[in-house]
Amino acid sequence: MKILVTGGAGYIGSHTCVELLKNGHDVTAADNFANSDMQAIDGVKKITGKNLEFYETDLRNETELNDIFVQNPFDCVIHFAGLKAVAESVAKPMLYYENNLVATLNLCRAMKNYGVKRIIFSSSATVYKGTNPMPLGEDAELGAINPYGWSKFMCEQILRDTAAAEGDWSVVLLRYFNPVGAHESGIIGENPRGIPNNLMPFIAQTAGGIHAKVNVFGNDYATPDGTGIRDYIHVEDLAKGHVNAMDFAFNNPGCEVFNLGTGRGVSVLEMIETFKKVNKVNVPYEIAARRPGDNAEVFANPAKAAKILGFKAEKNLEDMCRDAWKYFHPPGAETV
């Protein structure tokens, strides 16, 4: 099958390109390099030994987007392209709404115009209300608490309404939790620009000497060690979940939503201690005040994805920590 991967040079997009190529698909990636670079595409080629077509473009440019569809008879789209930093979305809400919504609307128009009727959308657990009991099932109450989450919520609704109106479209909305780790080769991984918004790359950078310490926001939650708990999933498992979702889309019109997570919560301190143990490095940390809006724990109920998609995360926390460090600090690199 011929697949378009938007945001294909990004963290999850590049790992999904690897899985698609490994499964024999013809892959075209598009990215504007807002938070990525060409090294990821080169890494995909190196890992797989296969080629993929690449377009540097912004989905908000309808002319360039239509040109891609004119040149390629796609069977399916996997849509990752979008801004994704929660804190930045709070500071720049208009940027997030304009970028994420316009890109999705333009993509849907292009798909309709060129007869492409299957799309897998990269959504997020941030679309769930923070007041839901754990674990989170797909039927949990929706309602984001930041512009990033609302932009994902709105994109979901755009796709849901489009599927209902078109009748023969197949839309799969994947709500995933906390992707971490890197490809086991160490060739591609998470490489955020500036100060990382997520825990794992901040831990890796601290172990590498870039930061003096990790700030642990709160140690007085009602959790076993007092620190916040989240559901972390290895990015390679997550990429495989997208391939499973695409296989489902080819046989099931309509719109379906799935959580992609492990179903196991990991605390901040457990993550830090596991990273130290697995990689034999020091990770200084300091307890800081809670951040407004943080929940004590957030983790998935992955049963629906297991039953319908046949998806189950296979890699454990040690794998996540080992692969993240391998990418950040490859064998033979100087210790900072």
Q: How confident is the model at residue 331 (pLDDT cuts 50, 70, 90)?
A: low
Q: What is the mean pLDDT of residues 82-97?
A: 94
For 15, the domain range is: 2-180+232-260
pLDDT beyond 90 at 245:
yes
Asked if residue 288 and residue 250 are part of one domain, the reply reads: no
What does the pLDDT read at residue 95? 97
Asked if residue 209 and residue 176 are part of one domain, the reply reads: no
Q: Percentage of residues in the chain with pLDDT exceeding 90?
A: 92
pLDDT beyond 90 at 228:
yes
pLDDT beyond 50 at 336:
no
Asked if residue 270 and residue 255 are part of one domain, the reply reads: no
194 against 12, higher pLDDT: 12
Q: How far is CA 298 from CA 18, 61, 132, 133, 230, in A?
A: 29, 36, 9, 9, 5
The residue annotated as part of the active site, out of 148, 221, 232, 327, is: 148
Count up the domains in the chain and report the number: 2
Please tell me whether residue 27 adopts helix, strand or coil conformation: strand
Closest CA to 182 of 204, 197, 210: 204
What does the pLDDT read at residue 172? 98
CB atoms within 10 A of CB 332: 5
- The per-residue pLDDT for range 279-291, each reduced to its tens digit, is 999 999 999 999 8
What's the CA gap between 10 and 219, in Å, rounded?
A: 33
Q: Percentage of residues in the chain with pLDDT exceeding 70?
A: 98
| 187 in a structural domain | no
Segment (H or E) for 179: strand 178-180
Asked if residue 273 and residue 211 are part of one domain, the reply reads: yes
Q: Give residue 96's identity as a one-letter amino acid code.
A: Y
pLDDT beyond 70 at 334:
no
Q: What is the mean pLDDT of residues 250-261?
A: 97
The DSSP secondary structure of 46-115, one letter per residue, reads HHHS---EEEE--TT-HHHHHHHHHH---SEEEE--S---HHHHHH-HHHHHHHHHHHHHHHHHHHHHTT
Asked if residue 214 and residue 156 are part of one domain, the reply reads: no
| 305 in a structural domain | no
- Spatial neighbors of 160 by CB under 8 A, at least 6 apart, are 171, 173, 255
| Model pTM score | 0.96
Asked if residue 206 and residue 143 are part of one domain, the reply reads: no
Verify whether residue 327 is a known catalytic residue. no
Q: How confident is the model at residue 76 (pLDDT cuts 50, 70, 90)?
A: very high
What does the pLDDT read at residue 31? 98
Closest CA to 28 of 7, 48, 9, 54: 54
Q: How far is CA 46 from CA 52, 147, 235, in A?
A: 11, 36, 18
Please tell me whether residue 16 adopts helix, strand or coil conformation: helix
Residue written as token pair 């849901």: 160
Asked if residue 127 and residue 36 are part of one domain, the reply reads: yes
What does the pLDDT read at residue 292? 82
Q: What is the mean pLDDT of residues 153-173?
A: 97
Q: What is the DSSP letter of 195?
A: S
Asked if residue 221 and residue 74 are part of one domain, the reply reads: no
pLDDT beyond 80 at 332:
no
- The per-residue pLDDT for range 42-62, each reduced to its tens digit, is 999 999 999 999 999 999 999
Asked if residue 165 and residue 215 are part of one domain, the reply reads: no
Asked if residue 136 and residue 83 are part of one domain, the reply reads: yes
What does the pLDDT read at residue 335? 42
CATH code at position 320: 3.90.25.10
Q: What is the mean pLDDT of residues 260-277?
A: 98
- The per-residue pLDDT for range 170-221, each reduced to its tens digit, is 999 999 999 999 999 999 999 777 788 899 999 999 999 999 999 999 999 9
CATH code at position 91: 3.40.50.720
Q: How confident is the model at residue 123 (pLDDT cuts 50, 70, 90)?
A: very high
